[in-house]
Amino acid sequence: MTKDTSNQMWGGRFAAGPDAIMEAINASIGYDQRMAAQDIAGSRAHAAMLAKSGIITDSDAKAIREGLLTVLSEIEGGRFEFSTALEDIHMNVEARLKALIGEPAGRLHTGRSRNDQVATDFKLWVRDQLDAAMGGVRALMQALLTQAEAGADWVMPGFTHLQTAQPVTWGHHMMAYVEMFGRDLSRFEDARKRMNESPLGAAALAGTSFPIDRHMTAEALGFDRPAANSLDAVSDRDFALEFLAASSICAMHLSRFAEELVIWSSAQFRFVTLSDRFSTGSSIMPQKKNPDAAELIRAKIGRIFGANTALLMVMKGLPLAYSKDMQEDKEQVFDAADNLMLALAAMEGMVKDMTANRESLEAAAGSGFSTATDLADWLVRALNMPFRDAHHVTGSLVAMAESRSCDLPDLTLEDMQSVHAAITADVFEVLGVHNSVASRVSFGGTAPEQVRAQVARWKGVVG
């Protein structure tokens, strides 16, 4: 298509076409063609409403709707020739529609502007991505629940500062991520509810004098209601920012888990074995099995964070209503959505395929004086000792064990009584890691019975 065609689309205001630089900086068709399906759905709903409101004839509306389906078929079939001269997906579709059906195509834009059109298209696209993200999070949570249920009573070390702290169960650790991703799921759900208002019919910024029915188009497109202020409707990009904000938090959770998988799959830990499907080898070291999928998740997260910051910067200084700056709202959202879905799918695959090495987990669970807190708690319960005193006695026993290169259960009763004479043999009942985790029966604790209860609760939420 030629620059003359572009001028015809703009009308009589411009006598000459844009030069190459202006055309390049002004065009968005290179990326906003991803919204073709949403653009055509919005236009079909708009045409049906115009006919029902008596603004265009039924025959024109029928020609428009059928012509738009032809355009969509051409796009989906890879037969559509996009033109940079026509700037964006909206004008490309309209120009092709005119070529197909002639004069009725010129009536499609009655009662709307590209400002409300692009806001509608973008909202529909982001809404689809929110639905996809929720599906991806649910699938990951289901994979985590399977791991948690299988290992509800498997012991492993719990860490603070990446130092051994107290024994926990594998199931409890997996359920920690279920809780994290559950919050992500609720954020996506909440964002979807808030953004589900239709901008269509807000026109350029002030509404329109045509007797349009915005409630009809809102309902046709699956929105809860039309947006109540035309100025806000065309200038709002909060829905994209909320999607990016929720995606950033979810991505952060993915990155934290990826980091643990990188550590756990190392030869020094051997807590998990990742499947060959999500690992690679070394070009020079034949023994290597690298957790590349986890590492790439950890790295790709920066693109999502960057997209969030970039769109905030685009929007931070804009007056109402529409400014051309807002054309820069889509590329980073598209990229962030792609990378979030890729990261979710990769993490789900790794979790489904990975094998937790029960023996390695249990061997590590008892190291590093992990039952020291259990000993202190026993001193409080059995001897009625103030906790601070119990903390001091336990610390002395840890120092003794450390000096002998053994663990707390390896000390004799006489060793313990040399630090505090009232200690009895009953203390050894709390020093085993299985006894330790079984005792943590407080709500949300690591005891197997608590883990299984939480698994059952979350299964009822995500299926």
Residue partners of 438: CB distance under 8 A and separation at least 6: 447, 448
CB 94 within 8 A of CB 109: yes
Q: How far apart are CA 133 and CA 244, in angstroms?
A: 11
Annotate 124-144 with b (16+ C-beta within 10 A) or e (fewer). bbbbebbeebbebbbbbbbbb
CB 415 within 8 A of CB 400: yes
* Amino acid of residue 226: P
Nearest to 120 by CA among 209, 206, 30, 46: 46
* Amino acid of residue 305: F
CB 394 within 8 A of CB 375: yes
Residue partners of 332: CB distance under 8 A and separation at least 6: 244, 306, 307, 310, 311
Can you give the three-state secondary structure of 85-131, one letter per residue? HHCCHHHHHHHHHHHHHCHHHHHCCCCCCHHHHHHHHHHHHHHHHHH
**Residues classed as catalytic:** 161, 282
Nearest to 109 by CA among 10, 233, 223: 10
